[in-house]
Structure 1
């Protein structure tokens, strides 16, 4: 599994890779995760035992992300000794390109998970522009077509990438969650730690505090809600460059003193934070799956969110929460929160349905779906791999072909964007 983001970075892709890797290992599969180095507290040794770290530039362009440097010789040696049956790329660039090269060298099929709408993240590079966003779309589409199979984390994303021109076999496989871990938690203890009264109504949110998460909108809506409901609080789990955006929005409404920033949380502390909430609020339009929504639902939380890819696969309006139109005004979002605040019976009904919804996203079920797709891809590429294996120059020709396709596809992506 080759990824440009991984633990200790807390984010959707990192959590997806770690969740699948751990579940595969529990099912007696061998896993090697190739990921960049990150500054900060190192992950537990039990995770690092199957991770190969690549040197990387830290905090690229002021972000939390690392940019991988070219692979070291030691990494090649470890990959050579690891007898992979499948190579799973989690990004279409950097280590994603490396995944294609390794796949060609080892005559192993490559699967790619289209985790992200990459055009929503181009603000992390200094030369962001409409043309560059088009390049991001073209690059991810063309990379997908260089792979033997593509995983989409939601039906919305599967439909989108097919419309953009992805022709490789596509399978919808959400990232699984640990139902048992999130079904219980010391919410009261978390409230005490954060100085939130036991009887306060708590609106919660979890995620990276970044521009692409639509946090100015969310904080504006929650600010209006808090102003209407003096006893309510806002609990935010996560950190990032948009923290001040959240604080400023609540300050404008005069309710910043009821904002509780918990920072990054994992494990039991994360579960406790979910259980300290009464409702979960989410306004991101850039998600490709509703991972945090599923986690919140496993904790029995009704959800209020905007209609967007990923979220619509998890949230059912009037069943396990309230889904609002993508263009809903902040006042409308605030009214939805007030509706759940004022109707305990509705909250309880939605909470019961939320727990049932979460079961569909169990990590065991999702891991089996991914493993079944791996097997399907191996069967579909068997004849081609045998032909390459039997040819004395097969592997070399395949490797040169990958390099040529990477060069030409990238050039085409740039040219196509500039001609729009």
Structure 2
């Protein structure tokens, strides 16, 4: 099958969309499909790989802005992953050629619009390119927080779904939130699988030694951006609760790009700055070492659509504590992850139990490993390929 994937996130970016796209493209290529990935690439033509688009870095952001122009090529299905200029170009490309479109909804636009000004700006661009006919009032509403912005983003969501043959939701939570916008567009829940753990290289000792964390000290790990939409203040407050009963505990935040000054200020206010480690992102192949070094993954976010780090941690045998009920059900087996109410006291209590209750810990680890093994790449690829076949037959008919 000839598949064109379209994404505004370049694969070198260390974040969930790029990971999901890279996983899907890799599985399909390994299965023998003819796959092209249209995503931001180097500005120099000589350095770009097939499918990559010329792009420039965005100041203060780990993204690149690409020329939204897709080359003409034989394609059976277009799979779009983002709503930026490249993603919108993919929708328009498919519409002009009457091609079926699969769209994976990776980002909660309404939740992110409160924190990232580029979200409403991108929404304005998307709405205009897709023919929504927004005038000055609509654009002003997008620029300001409030019900007006939410209504416009909802309107854009309906327009986007109207351009799709099927919407893929990476979690039941996301499928439920998108259902009011769907109209006649079917929604299928299809989480991205996580890669199998890399071989152990004495990671626990090495990482702890590097961070000067004693071998027997309880270690909490958070992976990903520590920006406000991920609720790092809740995480730090919960860690302060843990330290009251486990004073030797440490917290490692891996993937901190910005917001570091505010985080350190909060950590000092809570009295945990001496036990908190704020680390820059590392390449994906090195994240597994931190999973092995830690004792619990602390997931404070409630704005994620899947939270790939949850499955990654569980594949490495790391128990997960979280506050988002929408992501508590594991793909694969349907078992439930440990869940707390989103307060520092309740979340801290759950973290403390997972650190100190060996019986609970062993059960959670076993359930997590089983789910990660059950929802594997082979199962995901079979379902996705079957979906492609269905919509291409429908389109041909």
Aligned-residue Cα RMSD (Å) equals 2.6
Task: Say if 1:67 and 1:121 are closer, same or farther in 2 by CA, change over 3 A.
Answer: farther
Per-residue CA deviation, residues 354-377 of structure 1 (Å, 9 max, x unaligned), is 101112332232222222111111
Shift of 1:166: 4.0
Paired residues, what number? 365
Shift of 1:181: 3.1
Task: Say if 1:184 and 1:289 are closer, same or farther in 2 by CA, change over 3 A.
Answer: farther
Shift of 1:223: 2.4
Shift of 1:34: 1.2
Per the alignment, residue 66 of structure 1 pairs with 64
Per the alignment, residue 21 of structure 1 pairs with 25
Per-residue CA deviation, residues 344-403 of structure 1 (Å, 9 max, x unaligned), is 2221221111101112332232222222111111112112xxxxxxxxxxxxxxxxxxxx
For 1:50 and 1:365, how far apart are their aligned partners in 2? 28
Per the alignment, residue 377 of structure 1 pairs with 391
> Is the CA contact (8 Å cut-off) linking 1:171 and 1:373 kept in structure 2?
no
1:188 aligns with 2:192: no
For 1:294 and 1:314, how far apart are their aligned partners in 2? 8
Per the alignment, residue 90 of structure 1 pairs with 81
| Counterpart secondary structure, 1:265 | coil
Aligned 1:266-345 pairs, distance under 5 A: 266-313=283-330, 321-325=337-341, 328-345=342-359
Aligned match for 1:100, one of 91, 102, 109: 91
> Is the CA contact (8 Å cut-off) linking 2:78 and 2:102 kept in structure 1?
yes
The normalised TM-score by structure 1 is 0.80
Task: Say if 1:101 and 1:316 are closer, same or farther in 2 by CA, change over 3 A.
Answer: closer
Aligned 1:136-285 pairs, distance under 5 A: 136-181=153-198, 186-285=203-302
For 2:200 and 2:109, how far apart are their aligned partners in 1? 32
For 1:99 and 1:272, how far apart are their aligned partners in 2? 37
Shift of 1:265: 2.0
5+ unaligned residues in a row in structure 2: which ranges?
Answer: 119-142
Aligned match for 2:111, one of 99, 117, 120: 120
Per the alignment, residue 377 of structure 2 pairs with 363
Per the alignment, residue 101 of structure 2 pairs with 110
> Is the CA contact (8 Å cut-off) linking 1:212 and 1:284 kept in structure 2?
yes
The normalised TM-score by structure 2 is 0.84
> Is the CA contact (8 Å cut-off) linking 1:289 and 1:311 kept in structure 2?
no
> Is the CA contact (8 Å cut-off) linking 1:55 and 1:68 kept in structure 2?
yes
> Is the CA contact (8 Å cut-off) linking 1:2 and 1:99 kept in structure 2?
yes
Shift of 1:50: 4.6
> Is the CA contact (8 Å cut-off) linking 2:329 and 2:336 kept in structure 1?
no
Task: Say if 1:162 and 1:170 are closer, same or farther in 2 by CA, change over 3 A.
Answer: same
Tell which deviates more after alignment, 15-24 or 357-366: 357-366
Shift of 1:155: 1.4
Tell which deviates more after alignment, 270-279 or 153-162: 153-162
Per-residue CA deviation, residues 67-116 of structure 1 (Å, 9 max, x unaligned), is 33443xxx52xxx2x42211111123412221122213444211111112
Shift of 1:323: 0.6
Per-residue CA deviation, residues 162-194 of structure 1 (Å, 9 max, x unaligned), is 123442122111111112438887222222222
For 1:95 and 1:176, how far apart are their aligned partners in 2? 24
For 1:205 and 1:315, how far apart are their aligned partners in 2? 23
Aligned 1:26-37 pairs, distance under 5 A: 26-37=30-41
> Is the CA contact (8 Å cut-off) linking 1:184 and 1:271 kept in structure 2?
no
> Is the CA contact (8 Å cut-off) linking 1:57 and 1:69 kept in structure 2?
no
Aligned match for 1:11, one of 8, 15, 18: 15
For 1:139 and 1:145, how far apart are their aligned partners in 2? 10
Per-residue CA deviation, residues 210-254 of structure 1 (Å, 9 max, x unaligned), is 221111111221122124322111111112223333322221122
Query: Which of the pair has the greater relative contact order for Cα pairs under 8 Å at 6+ separation?
Result: 1
Per the alignment, residue 53 of structure 2 pairs with 53
Where is the helix percentage greater, Structure 1 or Structure 2?
Answer: 1
> Is the CA contact (8 Å cut-off) linking 1:223 and 1:249 kept in structure 2?
no
Task: Say if 1:38 and 1:189 are closer, same or farther in 2 by CA, change over 3 A.
Answer: farther
